[in-house]
Amino acid sequence: MEKRRLQLFRGESVFQHPYVFLVTVILSIIFIDPFRIGPLGDHDYKPVKHDVASYKKVMENWPADNRSRLGYGKLEFVDQVYGPESLEFDRSGRGPYTGLADGRVVRWMGDGFGWETFAVVTPNWSEKLCANGNKSTTPTQSKFEHRCGRPLGLRFDTKTGDLYIADAYYGLLVVGPEGGLATPLATHDIEGNPILFANDLDIHSNGSIFFTDTSKRYNRLNHFLILLEGEATGRLLRYDPNTKETHVVRDGLAFPNGVQLSKDESFLLFTETTNCRVIKYWLEGPQKGKDYIFANLPGFPDNVRLNDKGQFWVAIDCCRTPAQEVLSNNPLIRSIYFRLPFKMSFLARLMGMDMYTVISLFNENGEILEVLEDKKGVVMKLVSEVREVNGKLWIGTVVHNHIATLPYP
């Protein structure tokens, strides 16, 4: 018995059958992808099950925007700003300020003055190396991103006028009200682990800075691998200005992204992009130190921002599909699927994943107050942040070269 089985695998009989051979070769190409043509290339890819609410359940309770109101948005500053993820205004109301794919933080100085470079995150920033204009949001910039910086999250401290920056490569930094070269505050946590992918931040009135580090394994350029794998090594961190130390508040998160304190600072919200949800983390009261699911979403959330009424705008890239859910729940199938020798965009389209956008307003209890969509992605194809300022929504996008605006309410 033992002998016969051995013979079978010596490759003399079975593998010489043409069909078996063909199937074996195809399978091994898929599994091993020797030419590294699949989207995963030579990455050590280990998919795990996503911890995500059922698509059907989420959609049952998700109101549709029948009028597709985001489609009435206006694109501004086209080809003047490159991948403006986060939008901020200073205490005298100037702005927006935004972080660009070329590594700069810029601010709008009004008609006649235009965009002005406000800050950079590294002394190595130079026009020659980094200023790629509107090519900055294309793969052209990939080689330079880690050298030029990629400011993602921006927040002004309203008391001091200082601007805090979460940069995907340079960690947490701060720059004074006059701008210039930003000073690094945190590049490592208290145990000496590097901060690999700082993403967004918020400032507590006691001076502590809460910020996200999206992954311990993948940097921003490889962020799609975090999504595909479902790996959960991201963290919520707190920088303490008194001790200058960075504490780990929450570990084991799946693509932690946007952070926002509540108006009374009794809790904060952060998004877990891979798991399509918003988490509420209590800072005060009987639930202090505990977290709960605040909202399950139809797509992949990015930043969260507070409006004047203490409500939360969440930017969501859409959307989940039933086919994508099968992959999400089955790491093995996902592993095979993304080793198919096709481009990522093709594989994504095959799953029915069209790019369009949804933004949503929540109250403090996680109840949906408003949903705005651009169902066909006519005007807005990907949104990263929504800021409500003086009757207007300002909408940033990490991959396109414009800022969108929409009168609201």
Interface residues with ligand NAG (CB under 6 A) are 63-64, 66, 79, 122-124, 134-135, 138, 204, 206, 208, 238, 240, 242, 283, 401
From the list 183, 211, 210, 181, the residue with the least C-alpha distance to 197 is 211
Least Cβ distance, residue 138 to ligand NAG (angstroms): 5
Name which of 107 and 238 has its Cβ closer to ligand NAG. Answer: 238
Name which of 130 and 226 has its Cβ closer to ligand NAG. Answer: 130
Name which of 87 and 261 has its Cβ closer to ligand NAG. Answer: 261
317 contacts 292 by C-beta, under 8 angstroms: no
Least Cβ distance, residue 16 to ligand NAG (angstroms): 52
HSE-CB at 216 with a 13 A cutoff on CA atoms is 16
**Distance in angstroms (rounded) separating the CA atoms of residues 84 and 136:** 11
Least Cβ distance, residue 136 to ligand NAG (angstroms): 9
Beta-bridge partner residues of 397? none
Q: What share of the chain is helix, strand, coil (3-state, %, to 5)?
A: 20, 35, 45
Name which of 93 and 286 has its Cβ closer to ligand NAG. Answer: 286
Environment class of residue 84 by beta-carbon count within 10 Å: exposed (0-12), middle (13-18) or buried (19+)? buried
As given in the structure block, the two tokens for residue 319 are 């959307």
Least Cβ distance, residue 42 to ligand NAG (angstroms): 24
Least Cβ distance, residue 91 to ligand NAG (angstroms): 22
**Distance in angstroms (rounded) separating the CA atoms of residues 52 and 357:** 19
Name which of 283 and 318 has its Cβ closer to ligand NAG. Answer: 283
**Distance in angstroms (rounded) separating the CA atoms of residues 161 and 177:** 5
The dihedrals phi and psi of 407, each to the nearest 5 degrees, come to: -60, 135
How open is the CA angle 312-313-316, to the nearest 5 degrees?
A: 130
Find the length of the chain: 409
From the list 168, 297, 154, 299, the residue with the least C-alpha distance to 227 is 299
Least Cβ distance, residue 267 to ligand NAG (angstroms): 10
Name which of 251 and 325 has its Cβ closer to ligand NAG. Answer: 251
106 contacts 118 by C-beta, under 8 angstroms: yes
Least Cβ distance, residue 259 to ligand NAG (angstroms): 12
Name which of 228 and 319 has its Cβ closer to ligand NAG. Answer: 319
Least Cβ distance, residue 141 to ligand NAG (angstroms): 11
Least Cβ distance, residue 126 to ligand NAG (angstroms): 10
Q: Which three-class secondary structure state does DSSP give residue 312?
A: strand
Name which of 122 and 275 has its Cβ closer to ligand NAG. Answer: 122
Residue 115: Cβ within 10 Å count: 16
For residue 381, is it left (φ>0), alpha (ψ between -120 and 50) or beta? alpha
Name which of 46 and 79 has its Cβ closer to ligand NAG. Answer: 79
From the list 107, 105, 148, the residue with the least C-alpha distance to 128 is 148
Residue 389: Cβ within 10 Å count: 17
Name which of 102 and 231 has its Cβ closer to ligand NAG. Answer: 102
Indicate the residue type of 11: G
Least Cβ distance, residue 281 to ligand NAG (angstroms): 10
